[in-house]
Amino acid sequence: MDYTFSEFSERVSKDSGIVRLMQDLDVGLSPGSKTFFLGGGNPAIIDEVLDAISEANHDLLDSPEEYARAFGIYDHPAGNVAFREVLADYFSRKFTALIRKENILITNGSQSSFFLLFHLFAGKFQNGIKQVLFPILPEYIGYHDLGLFPDMFTAMEGKVRPLQKHRFVYEIDKEKLMAMLQDHHHEIGLLALSRPSNPTSRVLEKKILDEISTVTKKYSIPVLIDNAYGYPFPGVIFTEGEYEWHENFILSFSLSKLGLPGLRTGIVVAEETVIERLSQMQGIFSLSPGGIGPALVKKIFEANKMDDLCLSHVLPYYREKSKIAQNVIDDLLAKTRYFLHESQGAFFLWLWLPDLKISAEELYKKCAAEGVIIVPGHYFAPKRTWPHLEQCIRISLARPDKELVVGLSLLCKIILENI
C-alpha cells in the first residue's frame, strides 16, 4: 500500500545513529559473522554473571508459586513491588540516603526510562516548549532521536583539556552552563548526562555533580544521571564511583551492561512525585514492565552477590580490555597526531584524530568495507554543528581479545592511510 507516515517517522527514518548502530550490532554479533565488532555497546558475556542468573533461574523454577507470579501476573505499572523493596534497601546503603520503593520505577531497559523522562520534562508544556540540555558533548547516541516532538534537545560542547602526550579529557564549561541556565531556564526541562560518559568514558567528579545540583536546583530543573555503565552496578569505573543523591537528581540504572541486555530491565530512582508521573506514563505506554528480569535479579541482590560480581568480574574484565586497546593504539599510531580520551570507565575508547583527511563517517564506511565496525563521532550530538566530532570515533572494547586486537590493527592501518 502507498501509505504516508508521521512526521516523527519521516524524521528518524532518514539518518538515525542509534538505528544504524543496533542493526550493525545484530549483524556483527550473529553466529558466523566475520566482522570485527568495535561498534555498538553490547556487553561481553561474563561467565560469572551468566552463572548467577542461571542459578537464580533454577531457583525460580523450583518455586512454582513464585514462577507463576513472575510469568502469569502483570506487575504494578511502576514495576514489581518486592524487587523495588530490595532495591530500595540496596540503594539506601549505596547512597547513604533514605530511598523507599516509592522512589523507584522499573522499566523495560534504560532506553525506555529516557523516553519516559524526556517526555515528562520536555516537549509541549502549557506555557510553551521545553528542551533537554546535554551539558557536556559528546553524549550518548541513543538520546538524540528520542523525542516525538521536533527540537527537544539542546547541548553544550565539552571543553578539551589536554593531558600528557596523546591524552585529553572533556570538561563541563561551568561559566557557560550558569549563563545558559540564567538566560534560558524557562526553556530547559531537564539536564541529562551519562556517567561514565558514553562515548568518552568521562566520570564526572562528585564535586562537579554537587555544583551542578546547586545551580540547577535554583531553577527547579532536575538532572538525569545515567549510570548504565557506572556506580554502583555494573561498576565499570576506573576512578571514583561514589557520589551524592541530591533531591533534584534522577538516577538511571540498567542491568544490560552487567551482561544481561536480553532482560530489558532498567531502574529509575527519583523523588516520589516524579516516580508517580513516570508510573502513570508507563501504565499507558506498556501496562507494566517485564516481570522476568526483576524476579531473577532480585535473587542476586538478596544473596548479596551483586557487588562482588561487579568488582571481582565485570570491572577487571573491562579494565584489562582498556589497557590492551590503548597499547595497540599507542603502538600503531605512535608516529601520528592522535588523542585518546583518558580511559575513566565504561566499555569504550574515544579517539580524536585532528589530522584525519576524511570525515569520521567516511572512515566508518572504509572500515565497514574491511569488516571493522566502529561508530563515527557526529552521532554523539543532537545536531551536526560541532566539526570536532567529525574527527572522532568511538571504539567498543567488549569483544574477545583476539577480535579486539585484530580489529584495532585493521582500524589503525585504515587511519594511517587517511591521515
Looking only at residues 267 through 326 of this chain, which bind a copy of itself when binding is defined by CB under 8 A? Answer: 271, 273-274, 277, 280-281, 283-293, 295
Nearer to a copy of itself, 261 or 371 (CB): 261
Query: Which residue among 145, 226, 342, 390 contacts a copy of itself (CB under 8 A)?
Result: 145
Taking the complex as a whole, the smallest distance from the CB of residue 210 to a copy of itself amounts, in Å, to 16
Interaction with a copy of itself in 41-80: which residues (CB under 8 A)?
A: 42-43, 45, 50, 53-54, 57-58, 61, 64, 67-77
| SS3 of residue 396 by DSSP | strand
Toward a copy of itself, which CB reaches closer, 18 or 104? 18
Nearer to a copy of itself by Cβ, of 145 and 157: the residue is 145
Distant-in-sequence, close-in-space partners of 240: CB < 8 Å, separation ≥ 6: 203, 205, 206
The rounded distance, in Å, linking the Cα atoms of 13 and 9 is 6
Tell me how crowded residue 154 is: count the other CB atoms within 10 A of its CB. 17
Question: What percentage of the chain's residues is helix, strand, coil (to nearest 5)?
Answer: 45, 15, 35
**Does residue 396 interact with a copy of itself by CB under 8 A?**
no
**Among residues 353, 308, 238, which one has the least CA distance to residue 48?**
308
Pick from 338, 342, 302, 306: nearest CA to 323: 342
- Whether cis (ω within 30° of 0) applies to the bond prior to 196 is yes
Residue 328: strand, helix, or coil: helix
Q: How far is the CB of 333 from a copy of itself (least distance, A)?
A: 30
Q: In the window 2-31, what residues touch a copy of itself (CB under 8 A)?
A: 2-10, 12-13, 16, 18-19, 22-23, 25-26, 29-30
Query: Does 262 participate in binding a copy of itself (rule CB under 8 A)?
Result: yes
Residues 98-117 that bind a copy of itself (CB under 8 A): 108-109, 111-112, 115
Q: Which is nearer to a copy of itself, 282 or 343 (CB)?
A: 282
Nearer to a copy of itself, 56 or 315 (CB): 56
Element (H, E) at 188: strand 188-194
Place of cell 583527511: 357
- Cα(136)–Cα(138) distance, integer angstroms: 6
Which C-beta is closer to a copy of itself: that of 283 or that of 371?
A: 283
Which of 38, 99, 122, 367 touches a copy of itself (CB under 8 A)? 122
